[in-house]
Structure 1
Amino acid sequence: MSAESTPEPGITEPVTTGPQHRGGGRRRKAAPGKRRKALLATAWAAAGVVVLAGTGFGYVYFKLNGNLKSVDINQALGDGRPTKVDNGSENILVLGSDTRAGTNRKLGGGTDDGSARSDTAMIVHVYKGHKRASVVSVPRDTLIDRPACTDAKGGSHSAATGVMFNSAYSTGGAACAVKTVESLTGIRMDHYLEVDFAGFQKLIDDLGGVPVTTTRPISDPQSHLNLKAGTHTLDGERALALVRTRHGVGDGSDLGRIQLQQAFVKALLDQVAHVGVFSDPKRLYDLADTATKAVTTDSDLGSVNALADFAGGLKGIGSSHLRMVTMPVRYDPADPNRVLLEKAKAERIWQALRNDRPIPASATKDTAAGEAAGVVSG
């Protein structure tokens, strides 16, 4: 079986084949009041919609262009980064950000202090020819060594040992997150895309919802999600609840939630491909307007033209050409709320991506998975 035809985690069958249980025999429990906003790779779908804006002109073009926010990653990181591999492939870091400002406060609670977290991280590798891609989800609770970094405003942040992966973004924003991923993988990130969860919810509504099928009921009072087994068309609110849920399925861990997110990403891509926006000018504009408001990009993608060109290279990659895995980790025996990197197995993934090769099945065999595979499909 080829890498492209291997079943994905969270779709129909688990990638892992070994035991999948919590360290110390305990299930992970979230701290009271702690929000886990999983915004997945909506930026991928947003980029796919923004390509439609390439047909715009005049007011429409300038309106959409004015929506975009960008960060100069190259200036912030300077030299000392991994070498760009010139083989026709591209690597994109996609983050979901959980800001505490504006509309996001209404959706997520908390204070309107403008702070932000990154609760979802995906490394997207687009292979030469741009006909297929691999996506590696990075668990936010992975304990790592974070490198010293400089944020986009010039602020310096010291290195830290044994901290959660998502602390990179909360410490130094996009630039620090990119540097941490490059330090972890040895792979240069060619681009950066970030989406906030308010934009994610509105994008789903503008699409008219996303159909998914659940193989068993999901009930999670924390994310306010209640779904019977069967097929549902999720609006933005319920879609956001689905990708946030962690207690209604699997072992209650972030790893299980990642499996749901990966399944939803595929369903979302299929919906973007089949929604027929070209025949509906108002829907076309609404989607492009929402997408450009939802994303923050690196400065190289900081215009509608640049983002449209980039998205044009992705639009041929459907869900059947998308290989999705979770970065190999194991449960931390000292703390059931954390996971540890399986370095040798992870290196097999990074080496494959550096060489523009499919991810080997051995890289994810017998690693922690979260026990939520197959619960949701598109």
Structure 2
Amino acid sequence: MTDPLATRERFADRPSSRYGPRRAHARQPKVKRRRLRRTVLVLLAVVVVAAGGTYGWAETRLNRDVDLGAYGDRPAPGKGTNYLIVGSDSRDGLSEDDVQDLHAGGGGGRRTDSMMLLHTGANGTSMVSLPRDSWVTVPGRLDTSTGKTKRPEGDKLNAAFAYGGPELLVHTVEQNTGLRIDHYAEIGFAGFVNIVDAIGGVRMCLDRNIKDEKSGADLRKGCHTLNGKQALAFVRQRHQEKEGDLGRSKNQQKFLSTLAHQAARPDTLFDPLEMGPAMQAGLDTLIVDKDMSLRDLTRMFRAAQSVTGGHGKQINVPVSGIGVPTPKGNVLKWDAKRSARLFADLRHDRPVTETGRP
């Protein structure tokens, strides 16, 4: 493997800013660095650790680049542990052919539109999807491009990441949910296809045909083993979804459940030849907080595996409106009462009764 480059612009306050570390290609004959609209690779990157820690070198590969307390004014610690799991769409490392082949689009920088809040505690595990188009209040901050202080403003959740990276995203999630984020894990899209291919593809059953020009999805109704490119297109597409970004989040949860289950099967977990390439691809694009250890990642993986295996709750944050017009475009608005109750239950580690359904 090659070491990631260390370049980073801190707290860039422009959506087009490049502040994320560039990631190098994994050494494989034809490496395709892809866009993924899912964060599942964070989980796969620690599968081997969960199997017994046979890759001690992995500890040195973690890029502990995120300062959760950079903005201060954090909620008090709650009960249990909260992980913010994020997928970013950095095109660093993608060749022009890769961009075209994977329908990755143009542009630069690093953005996110896939976010999951994973809570573990005495009353079980809950995984809450936070759609990228959620309408939230982005806290006041210093605009490094002008040197002026910006006031709090309404915007989409993924705009917080574009304006100020993981630190501002964490700060925004904390301020809008009242939950203190204990750990952050972000996976770049570059390793996704290699991971899926490394475990032999992912078996998915579709209830309808899916054809989407923007993502490149062209899948037939029925059960198929999706290779990396097909899986990438599936988790990216949203234009055929009646619920748009919310529908895509549901597809992503379905894919996460299937992938976590397949990656954890015995013949995968205990075969270093099987998981070696996947481990390498995952770690090459993984960014975590300064206090994250492989032990913490193992706990996160096991918790996510548990909830996707049916021993926990998978929830979409309750919404009261879809496609609501605002000066920042159409957004999803959270149901104020139901979402507040959900986050309060998580903060106090109470049994979660919210389903996220309308």
Q: TM-score range by the shorter chain?
A: 0.7 to 0.9
Q: CA deviation at 1:147?
A: 0.6
Measure the CA separation in 1 of the matches of 2:174 and 2:76.
10
CA 1:237–1:46: 2 relative to 1, 3 Å: same
Residues 1-378 of structure 1 correspond to what in structure 2 (within 5 A)? 38-52=37-51, 54-57=53-56, 61=57, 64-78=58-72, 80-85=73-78, 87=79, 89-103=80-94, 106-107=98-99, 108-111=104-107, 113=108, 115-128=109-122, 132-149=124-141, 158-248=150-240, 250-251=241-242, 253-274=244-265, 276-301=267-292, 303-304=293-294, 307-308=297-298, 311=301, 318-329=308-319, 330-334=321-325, 337-361=330-354, 364-366=356-358
User: What does residue 374 of structure 1 align with?
Assistant: none
Work out whether residues 246 and 253 of structure 1, in 8 Å CA contact, stay in contact via their aligned partners in 2.
yes
Alpha-carbon distance between aligned partners in 2 of 1:183 and 1:332, rounded to the nearest angstrom: 23
1:251 & 1:187 partners in 2: Cα distance? 30
CA distance in 2: counterparts of 1:291 and 1:156, whole angstroms? 38
With 102-111 and 211-220 compared, the bigger mean Cα shift is at: 102-111
CA distance in 1 between counterparts of 2:249 and 2:279 reads 27
Query: Unpaired segments of 5 or more residues in structure 1?
Result: 1-35, 367-378
The AA in structure 2 aligned to 1:117 is R
CA distance in 1, matches of 2:257, 2:349: 22
Instruction: Give 1:39 shift.
Output: 1.9
The separation in 1 between residues aligned to 2:336 and 2:306, in whole angstroms, is: 33
Alpha-carbon distance in structure 2 between the residues aligned to 1:119 and 1:104? 22
How many equivalent residue pairs?
314
- 1:246 Cα deviation (Å)? 0.8
Distance 1:272 1:198, change over 3 A: same
- Which deviates the most, 313-322 or 195-204? 313-322
Paired AA for residue 342 in structure 2 = I
Alpha-carbon separation, structure 2, partners of 1:156 and 1:118: 25
Residue 100 of structure 1, CA deviation: 2.7
Deviations 1:1-44 (A, max 9, x none): xxxxxxxxxxxxxxxxxxxxxxxxxxxxxxxxxxx952244323
State the shift of 1:291 in Å: 2.1
Which whole-Å CA distance do the structure 2 matches of 1:242 and 1:169 have between them? 24
Using the TM superposition, name which of 100-109 and 276-285 deviates more: 100-109
Q: Which has more helix, going by share of residues? A: 1
Asked whether the 8 Å contact 1:48–1:314 carries over to 2, the reply is no
Report deviation, 1:318: 4.9
In structure 2, what is the Cα distance between the partners aligned to 1:255 and 1:94?
17
For 1:357 and 1:39, the matched residues in 2 are separated by 28
Q: TM-score, normalised by structure 2?
A: 0.79
User: For residues 287 and 156 of structure 1, what CA distance do their matches in structure 2 show?
Assistant: 44
**Distance (whole Å) between structure 2 residues aligned to residue 217 and residue 299 of structure 1:** 43
1:327 partner amino acid? V
CA distance in 2, matches of 1:304, 1:260: 28
Alpha-carbon distance between aligned partners in 1 of 2:151 and 2:44, rounded to the nearest angstrom? 34
CA positional deviation for 1:221 = 1.7
Aligned partners of 1:54 and 1:305 also within 8 Å: no
CA distance in 1, matches of 2:41, 2:269: 20
Classify the secondary structure of the residue corresponding to 1:55. coil
- The secondary structure found in structure 2 opposite 1:102 is coil
CA contact (8 A) 1:137 1:258 kept: yes
Residue 304 of structure 1, CA deviation: 4.2
SS at match of 1:321: coil
Q: Which amino acid aligns with 1:39?
A: R
Q: Which runs of 5+ in 2 are unaligned?
A: 1-34
Rounded Cα–Cα distance in structure 1 between residues aligned with 2:70 and 2:301: 24
Most deviating of 206-215 and 288-297: 288-297
**Cα gap change, 1:253 to 1:65, in 2 (>3 Å):** same
Counterpart contact for 2:83–2:117, Cα < 8 Å: yes
Aligned AA (2:61) = N
CA contact (8 A) 1:98 1:104 kept: no
Higher relative contact order (CA 8 A, sep 6+): 1
Aligned partner of 1:6 in structure 2 is none
Taking the aligned partners of 2:142 and 2:49, their CA distance within structure 1 comes to 30
**Normalized against structure 1, the TM-score is what?**
0.75
Which whole-Å CA distance do the structure 2 matches of 1:162 and 1:136 have between them? 21
CA deviation after TM superposition for structure 1 residue 305, in Å? 5.6
